[in-house]
Structure 1
């Protein structure tokens, strides 16, 4: 999809992060604490890889615009609308 293609491209500008890793960075940048299943060493390595990575404003906007276009909800039901 256009969304995952864009996330893959963004990951490429941050040392080759996967789409899942870009999603984790996006979530952390929004002030959430993702609960990531860690059952294998590669899962831990992935989380270490994203530590300290931040998306630019343009990258965040790209993800959110493409997500909105696909109907993906980027705000959880319990979150208050941003003012």
Structure 2
């Protein structure tokens, strides 16, 4: 029990200062960075959130998206695709 409790205490200690350090860094960065840089940073954050949500609900929407994409491609390139297929086969 002593070893386990010691490990958990060590982890808790290591975690708390890193969080405070991150907060301090973000504050200093906000002060130092220009408006344009702040905008680009906020955009990258929003993009990351979107990609995560897509990964979570990946099973259903991916299949739907693929079907729609295939239909659009065939509609726009039917003539070319038909010629290519006939020449290959």
* TM-score tier after normalising by the smaller chain length: under 0.3
Larger radius of gyration: 2
Q: TM-score, length-normalised on structure 2?
A: 0.26
The answer to which structure has the higher helix fraction is: 2
Q: TM-score, length-normalised on structure 1?
A: 0.28
Q: Tell which has more relative contact order, 1 or 2 (C-alpha 8 A, sep 6+).
A: 1
